[in-house]
Structures are given as C-alpha cells and as structure tokens.
Chain A
Amino acid sequence: MPSQNDELEKKIPNGKQKVASIAEQTSATNGTAKAAKGSEQGGKLADGPKEKELSGKEKKELAKAQKIAKRAAEKQKQQGQPVVDLAVGNKGDLSKEAGKTEPLGPATPTSKTQHKSSGSTSAGAQSSLPHRQAPSHAAPIHAEPEKENKNVALFDHLYGHPRRTTVAGAGKDVHPAVLALGLQMRNYVICGSSARCVSMLLVFKRVIESYTIPSRNSLPRHLTTHLSSQIDYIVSCRPISISMGNAIRWLKVEISNVDVSTPESQAKSDLCDSIDTYVREKVTVADQVIANKANDKIEEGDVIMTFAKSSIVQQTLVEAFRRGKTFRVIVIDSRPLLEGKNLARALADLGLEVQYSLTHGISHVISHATKVFLGAHAMMSTGLYSRAGTAIVTMSAKEANVPVIVCCESVKLTERVALDSFVHNEVAPAEELMIQGRTSSLLSKWEDVPNLQVLNLMYDLTPAEYVNMVVTEYGIIPPSSVPVIIRLSTNS
C-alpha cells in the first residue's frame, strides 16, 4: 500500500513541472490562494518551491488528497496510533516530519479513494496540457533558473511577467519609435507619470502619421487595434501609468469618433492635431495654471518639503523663486531611483537653499518644514498614489501638523478606488535595489541565499486624510472632490 502512495507522490510533481510555466502566467489570479496554501502544503511536498507552480485544478486535487490523508490520520489517532508525528505533520513545519506522516494515510481504508482522485488529477492535467503548453513555448523567459521562488507571496499577484529587456520577440507591427520608447521607459530614461504620458502621446502621433489603412478596413475600426498592439508592447516593458491609461482612453474615443468618410490623410492630421491640443491643454498649460495656483500657498520664509522628484512641484518652486519669494526647500529622497537628487541639483543651481535627506532622516527634518508639496502618480478620492515613500512623508507631516499639498493635473485623477498599496502596485525588478558595482555586498548574490526574497515596490497609497489639498488646473479641491473634477474634465 505505501508503494502506491509513493507513486502518487511522484506523479503529481511530474504533472506540476509540465504546467509550471503556465501556472506562472496565471499567478495573477490565484496568487493569494497559493500563498495561503503554501504553508499548509509545505510539509507534505518535499520539492517545496515547485509545488507553488501548480495550476488551480491540481491544487484543488492536492488539497482534497491532503484532507483525506488528514482525516485518515485522525482516525488512526483515535485508534491509538502515535500522535506526535501527526501533530507536527499537520502543522507542516518540517519536511522530514511530514515525510513520516505521509505513509500513515494509505494504511487506512480510504486510500482507495485517494488513489482514484490522484489518478484523475494526473489525467486531467495531461488532458489539458496540449492546449495550455503552447503559450509557454512562446514565452520561454518565464522558466526561472533558480530553484526557489523569489516572489514575495503577499505581492505574488503583482509580479506578472518580467519586464521586457530587448526588442526581440516584439510584434511585427510595433512602430520603431514605440520600440525605443518602451525600452526608455523600462530603463527610467523617461520616468514620471506626466513625462511618460506626454512621450507616449507624441510617439503615437508618429505611429498615426506612418499608419496606412489596410484594404477593406476603416480607420476608426482598425487604428484602435493597431494602437493596442503598440500599447501591449509598452506594457510589456513597464506597466502603464494611470495618466497614460486616461490618455489612451481619450485617444481611442477620438479615433472611434472619426467619420468613416473622412479622407485618410485628413483624418490622420486631425488626430495628430487633437493629440497636440490634448498635450497642451492637459499638461503644458495645466502645469502653468497649477504652478501659479500652488504659488499662492508659498509664503515668505516658508520651508517647503518635497519627496523624490515631481516636475510640477519643481515648476511651482521655480516659479516661486522667479517671483522673488524667499524660501528654503527640503528634498526627501529614497532608493533605488534617487530622483530627488536631480530636483535638489536643479533648485540649488537656481540659487535656492536646498537641504537633501533620505527618508530615514524625515522625523528629524520634518520639524523644520512648514509645508509639504508633493507630486502624484495618480490621485483618487480615497488617497494619493505616488512613489513609494510618499506615505511616510505625509504621515510624518500630519504628525508634525504640517499641511500637505498635492499638485496634479486632472489627467492623473482616477475614479479607481484603492484602500491599500497591496491590491494595485507595480513591482520593479528586485535587482534595482542592489547597489550597482558593489560585488562584495552581502546582497550581491541574494538570489543564491535561501529564504531571502527582495521586494521592490514602486508606489504606495497615502490615505486621503493625510492630504490637505489637491491643486488641479480646475482649482484647489479636497481629495473627496476628485470625482467631481473627473466628471468636469471628461465632459468638457
């Protein structure tokens, strides 16, 4: 009887290995379930990391089998069998102990049903294989070389597929300018919500210019799909920002509104013109308006604190300096991007008095600040979604009773609602956290260190109660009025 069970144990891992790459792709959907089961199953399965890469169906079956085994063990316990091993096995702490408990199961009459179910497991997995295996060939990058899964379980749903590093394998209809843009975004050459949005729109202009309507198709119908493949490529380089999403949504509506009877060249130039207008209205002019409005809140002798680098905050501070106000700036920064360095340098070059500190110094410097100005990646009615570290700045500001002012264009406002930074976020490659060029560091070979996972989150959410005001081009509003402005800006 025990030999049967061993067979079962062998079969399951085989099936698992085959579907491993597919499970990777579907991880976004069942990531949390996996995390929950991980601890439960850890003891049962000797080949720890691989069991995480199960498909949903297989996991169900496994859980079932495990449950049956547990019940059987309990029966044995009642019958006076040794209890000690069991208790440990159920907890699943030690794989050794778990190995001992396993043979207990098949010794009971229920082993038949277990065998049955296991048979259906492998059969089911195999039958589904031919269909599901195909995409795994197309994306061979997914197979991780390490044995250990280095994804942090709590954020497993955020990993998706790793960022594209080369243009190889890109769709054939992806425009060269888009190819370049994607890589620029990936390497943070183009960084920041507004900059990415504007550069994307400008590149789309080039895409539209070089676009020709295929025969037996119309521009409103085909151009959107053509753009979608460009967008897919950009997303594969780095997930798009909220502002980019808003702009894409706007552009698609514009395209679908193009009259089919319009000559191709006319329609294309019209679209390019409206993109130009959009960029001017939503970013260029909006930034000027916001900088002016935010300037009313800067007074003589203020000490302005800001976090990382926001182009609109920079513009506001430069405008205040140009108006001859005397104020001091504290730039708080954080690894790994250290965007604040650029801001500090730019302001210091102007002649402003700038203090630069990393986040760990915040509790010390916040006592000197009189106002906190922040940029945004996105602004929701429930809070501010911005570069990771913003929340700690705002919370320190609240603690010190310093008002927090967010400057953001209406294109960054979103009706999406988030209550924490876990559900939506962007996970950047963990290698970025390693200090470049330092090979002697303990972390330099983190991938080989067992039980070590490195998490590099891009954003965090600041609850709305920590934000005193939001300066938009439509006026100064509290965060709760974000939906009103969205309605205003999308209707007009």
Chain B
Amino acid sequence: MLTPPPEDKTATPTSSTPHNGSSSFDVVSTYNNTLSTDPLITKPVAAIESLISLLSASPPSTISETLSLLESATSELKESVPNSIAISAGTDLFQRYLISTLQQGSAQYTKSKGKRSSSSGDGEFRSIRAHLLANSRLFVQRAKESRGQIATVARRFVRDGCTVLTCGRSRVVAAVLSAAAEDGAKFRVVNAQDSHDALSNSSTDIVTELRRKDVPVATIAFAALATSLPHITFALAGAESVVENGGIISGMGTNQMGLLAKSAGKPFYVVAESHKFVRIYPLSGDDLPLGQKVLDFRTEGGEERNEHEGKRKAEGEVVDFTPPDLITALVTESGVQTPSAVSEELIKIWS
C-alpha cells in the first residue's frame, strides 16, 4: 500500500517547477524517482534520501543556509502530495538529526560560541557536512534494514496453526509473513481487499508471494471481514505513519479491521519501522491533515459519481486513522511496544 501511484509522477513536476529557484535540483522528482525505482523503500526514507541528494548536490554553505534550504525543500515536497504526514516523519527526523549533529559537531570543533564570524568555522562546517552526508547514507541503510529486524521480532507471533488476518499490501507485513513461512511455520492468511480487487482475482504481491511459499491465502472483500473473523487468530497490519498517541495512519479499511478485531476480542498487531513515527497528536481521524475527501454527498448523477471515483484513485491511495485503543501492540525494530510507548520514543528523539 506504500507504493506510490504512477499518477503522482506525472502530476508533480508541473507543480514543483515554479518553486525551484535556489538550485537546479528538483527534490520532488528525486523523491518520486526514488520511490518508483526502489520498491522496498518507504516514504519517509525516500524523503530523507532526496534531502541528502539535495544536500550533496548543493554547494556547501553556512549552517543557517543549509537549514533554510532544507526547510524550503521540505515544504516543496510536502506540497507535492495530498497527504504529507509520511513525508514529514522522514523530513522531521532528518532535520532533527542534522541539528543535533551540527550541535555536537560545533561543540566538538569550535571552542568559542561565535561560529559565524570566524573564517575557520567555514572549514569546520565543511568537515561536519561531509561527516553528516556519510552518516546520512548509513542512516538510510539502517532504516531499510529495520524491516528485516521487525520480521524477526514479529515472526514469533505467527505460530503453527494460526490464521492471520491482514489487509492492504503492506511490505512489512509481507516481510513478517514471508519470514515465518521460510522458517517453516504452518499458518494461513486471510487478506482483506477492496471489493473489486478481491473479486477480480488479480492477486497482489503479498498474496502471490505467500502462495508461492506454500502458505494458503484467502482473499476476501472488506465486507466479508466480520463473517470471517471467528476463524482468525490475530490481525496484523502495516502502517504508513504512527502518530504520537500510538494510533496509526494506514490504508483505508485498517480502522475498520481494528474495530472489528476489538469487538471480536482478537489481538490487533501493527508492524512499523520507528522512522514512521511522526510528531502529530490527533484527537481523531478528522483531526489529521490527510487531504482526502471520503464523504461525498450528492443527489442523482450516477455517471458523475463514476467519474469522481476515478478521480479519487488518481489522487493517491486513501488512508484512515486507527486510534491507539484498538491496537494491542506495535512491533518496531526495537521490539514490541504498547501504543503509548510511541510518545515516549518521540520525546526521546525530540529532546
């Protein structure tokens, strides 16, 4: 569910070109290219990667110039997509990392506090910058590796004889289930999809991959979720972003799955890398800047509605918000956490 829709690529260059004043580097197209070329990359990491590319492409300058360059690139990036929460998880993290590194660096290199006035400070900044760029690559590398780590942690939840309910096309979920299958666990998977996907028999990556690994997979429409729940052992979902109270922003239908799992008393686990943690604290799904319109009231005009549905698809995948009280546990690369631990983790990063 995290793969970008192809429409994004065509739509963005036109909107981003007027903003490109400072340098010839186009951060939006870099972001979209990174996302489409690397199927394993997540949105926050893609955003970080494109910011790093921007930094290495732009000439070295002062700290404040670098920060303002990043700021403008970030806002440009956010404007290019309807739902910028996933991007801001990455860009905020990078900015935070950058500032802390710069603070450490300046504390190490400069004894005096006046860094702007001294000419030697410029040279020091250069070395800090080089160090930063080298470390940033490492950062991206680690972020990519975290999916494997989650799979090893979450794999323990998938035991012999259990039936796992998933929805959408989360790559972390796919990684977890594949790891379990490779370990020889005997389990079954129920994959809930949009009704037309489920009916059209056009199986998604996760379904084909698991079936290839000899895991029995059933695809159902979301409408059949409640009916199939008695056969389910636990529900497993991926997330696009994890917000501060431990709720998740994920593909449309996840909230519904969570609600049903809660009412049936089934555990609902979420697997997500910790770089998806974002510093937003919503009261409810309505409180999020998702940039989508789910409810569209109208009278008559059936043809128009079809047209509208096509338009909504073009805008990108729709997401929903699952509140933390529906989530049994979050599995990140650092282990199994309760939803309330997210805020603690975020405070640690931001203070």
* Chain A residues near B (Cβ < 8 Å): 297, 371, 403, 405, 465, 468-469, 474-478, 480-481, 484-485, 488
Main secondary structure of the interface of A (DSSP, over half): mixed
Residues of B within 8 A of A475 (CB): 279, 281, 347, 350
Say how far A234's CB is from chain B's closest CB, in angstroms.
Answer: 34
Residues of B within 8 A of A469 (CB): 245, 281, 283
State A403–B344 Cα separation when bound (angstroms): 21
Say how far A487's CB is from chain B's closest CB, in angstroms.
Answer: 9
Q: Is there a chain A Cβ closer than 8 Å to B246's Cβ?
A: yes
State A23–B180 Cα separation when bound (angstroms): 67
State A371–B325 Cα separation when bound (angstroms): 18
28 A-B pairs in the complex with CB atoms less than 8 angstroms apart: A297-B283, A297-B287, A371-B283, A403-B284, A465-B325, A468-B245, A469-B245, A474-B347, A474-B351, A475-B279, A475-B281, A475-B350, A476-B244, A476-B281, A477-B281, A478-B244, A478-B324, A478-B343, A480-B338, A480-B340, A480-B343, A480-B344, A481-B344, A481-B347, A484-B343, A485-B347, A488-B347, A488-B351
Q: Is the CB of B283 within 8 A of A405?
A: yes
Residues of B within 8 A of A478 (CB): 244-246, 324, 340, 343
Q: Is the CB of A484 within 8 A of B245?
A: no
State A478–B245 Cα separation when bound (angstroms): 6
Q: Is the CB of B343 within 8 A of A481?
A: yes
* Chain B residues near A (Cβ < 8 Å): 244-246, 279, 281, 283-284, 287, 324-325, 338, 340, 343-344, 347-348, 350-351
Residues of B within 8 A of A485 (CB): 347
- Pick the most buried of A371, A474, A477, A485: most chain B CB atoms within 10 A of its CB: A477
- The residue on B at minimum CB distance from A469 is B281
- The residue on B at minimum CB distance from A401 is B284
Task: Take A484-B344, A485-B347 as given contacts and tell me if A477 and B283 are in contact as well, using a CB distance cutoff of 8 Å.
Answer: no
- The residue on A at minimum CB distance from B338 is A480
Residues of A within 8 A of B343 (CB): 477-478, 480-481, 484
Residues of A within 8 A of B283 (CB): 297, 371, 403, 405, 468-469
Residues of A within 8 A of B325 (CB): 465
- The residue on A at minimum CB distance from B281 is A476
Say how far A492's CB is from chain B's closest CB, in angstroms.
Answer: 8
Residues of A within 8 A of B281 (CB): 469, 475-477
Closest 3 CB pairs of A and B: A480-B340, A476-B281, A403-B283
Say how far B244's CB is from chain A's closest CB, in angstroms.
Answer: 7
Residues of B within 8 A of A481 (CB): 340, 343-344, 347
- The residue on A at minimum CB distance from B347 is A484
- The residue on A at minimum CB distance from B325 is A465
State A468–B284 Cα separation when bound (angstroms): 10
Residues of A within 8 A of B340 (CB): 478, 480-481
State A474–B344 Cα separation when bound (angstroms): 12
